[in-house]
Amino acid sequence: MQKTIILATKSDHKIKEIQMYIKNHKKYDFRKFQFNTLKDYGFEVEEDGDTILDNSIKKAVETAKYTGMPCLSDDSGLFVQALDGKPGVISARWCGIHGDEKKNNEKLQKEMIMNNFFISPAYFESVMTYYDPNKDCMFSTNGRLNGFVYYFAKYGKDGDGYGYEPHFYMEDPRNDDTVKSLSEYTDEERMTFNYRFKALDKMMKYLKYDKF
């Protein structure tokens, strides 16, 4: 019998990444789970927490209570050292408009100029939370990807780039002498180090036992 879990998101990018994880990871038996998303429900949660953990928990709890089913949520952000951790929890709406990637990246570049730097250590972090309202069971996991932000963006071969990824650079795990923006890696390459995959991988270590 399959266990239905609601993914507390309407983000096409997050849904794509989670589906890609499910498709490509062989160490977990996903046949016992049926994943639905908030696209199947007319429901949204206001992300007004002080941290990405706060938002992750809120999305999981409120979505689970609304649907009456177990829920898996994610909240993530970019944390720039030279900006004291900004944009952090407000990464998706830093420019004042939720999900406007172009203006968010322009905001990043503007903040760099105003604070007199073109490069800074930074990291992406994802926090995932599972909540089952029927058993009142909740736990969270996180995943982090270290690198640095650079004023000049670099996109993939198809000109694609999600969020701040064209401005986020890291050493190629396969070759320490190569540095690329996150947008330049293929989906298959990202499977080995993606911060959301790291959080999801930790989460599945719990869910695979289906004790909840």
| Residue 128, both tokens | 């995932």
Q: Name the catalytic one among 75, 100, 132, 177.
A: 75
The dihedral through the CA atoms of 32, 38, 42, 47 has a sign that is: positive
Cα(19)–Cα(34) distance, integer angstroms: 11
Report whether 198 contacts 126 (CB < 8 A).
yes
Cα(165)–Cα(184) distance, integer angstroms: 9
Whether 201 is catalytic = no
The dihedrals phi and psi of 73, each to the nearest 5 degrees, come to -120, 165
Report whether 67 contacts 113 (CB < 8 A).
no
Amino acid at position 156, single letter: G
Active site residues: 75
